[in-house]
Every structure is written in C-alpha cells, then in structure tokens.
A = this chain, B = another copy of it.
Amino acid sequence: MDGSGEKKPAKRRSQERVLQRDPERTRAAILEAATREFAENGMGGARVDAIAERAGTNKRMLYHYFGDKEQLYLHVLEEAYVGIRTAERELHIGDRSPEEGIAELALFTWRYFLKHPEFLSLLGTENLHRARWLRQSVRLKELHSHLIVELTEVLDRGKKTGVFIDAADPLNVYLTIASLGYFYISNQYTLSTIFGRDLAEKGNLDAWERHIVHVTLASIKA
C-alpha cells in the first residue's frame, strides 16, 4: 500500500511534480496507519498520535478527515469487512459441485484470515466492546445476506443429490468454518505457549488447513 505507490496525478491537474498536498493519498495513508494501530493495540490501546506519525502526517489532518478517534475506528472496521466480503463474492462457490464449493469456501476463509490477521484483531476488539460501533454502521448490514443466500443454494443442491444431510444449516456451516480459522490464528500465541508447540509453523498451518476442510465436510456429509 505504501512504497511502490506512484505519485497520483492529483485530480485537479496532471503534473509530474512531487505534490505535498494530495488529499486522497493522505486520507488513505491515515486509514492504513489506523488499521495497523487499532489492530495491534485495540481501541483502548491505540494512540491518535501514533496513527498520525505512522501515516506521515499529523493529528490535525486525522481529525479533519475523520472527525474523531471513534469515527476513524468505525471507518477502519467497515473497510475491513468490505475487504473480506468483496473477495468472498468473487469466489462463486456455486460454480462447482456442492462438496467442492464448501471446500473452496473453507479454504478461502482460512487463507484470508491467515493473510489478514489485522481483520481478526479488529473483530476481537469490536466484540470486546459488544459491537458498539458496528451496530451504528448502516453500510454493513446488507453486505452479508449475499453470503448466506449463496451458501443456502449450494447446500440445497447437495441435499437434493444426497451428498449432504438435511440438517445442514448454512449459518452453522459458515460459523464452523470461521470458528476453526479464527480461533487457531487469533489465539495462536497463548496456545503455542501453553501447549509448547509453534502453531505458526508451516507444517502445522498446512495440517490445520486440511483439518478445517475435513471437519466441515464430515459434519454435513450424508
């Protein structure tokens, strides 16, 4: 997100000169810095000064673009949800056989969680506060119905052809997949400590990936 970014031509006029004033770039930098700061320290631990410094700007701009710390946090959270749901939508789990579709969703979810620990961390923070900010969000409520609808279709198709049990419930299936991925990754530090095994090791990660697919399918297979 940083580093390789070419200087944007700044809407108003195309110019090659290094622009200090680039509102969109500044805004994006703040959002990205805030994502990291909130993910690493939680709402209570995140520091506004630290976000400004990480973004290479200062607090004035942060308050200018986002109002206050809480609104900035909500923006970060919304962006994170949009990120996973957007990627998920491009899967088209209905294009294959029901079993392959479910396996694909499980793999995608696991790998997305693994690649975006900051998303899991934000979820953790938000739940600590009982979804205080998420509940205020208007944008996000409908973002999720798509997932359940698509999953319902895949499961129904599998039930008709007799590969899935009738009791298979779409929400339960998704929660099962998400549970197994979320817990392993977000709790890896305490788990590795108390069980004396490094869960982040490649071999263990691969084994758990296979385990998730196995468990998910085993729980709904006829």
Contacts and interface: CB of A to CB of B under 8 A. Distances in A.
Contacts of A218: 215, 218-219
Interface stretch (A7-15, A40-48, A56-64, A92-100): A40-48
Interface string A172-192: 100110111011101111111
Interface in A172-222: 172, 175-176, 178-180, 182-184, 186-197, 207-208, 211, 214-215, 218-219
Tell me if A's interface is mostly helix, strand, loop or mixed: helix
Nearest to A188: B127
Given A41-B44, A141-B194, A121 B128 contact: yes
A123 interface: yes
A43 B171 CA distance: 32
Interface size class of A (residues with CB under 8 A): 35 or more
Contact of A140 (B41, B148, B194): B194
A186 B197 CA distance: 24
Nearest to A130: B189
A180 B81 CA distance: 21
A135 interface: yes
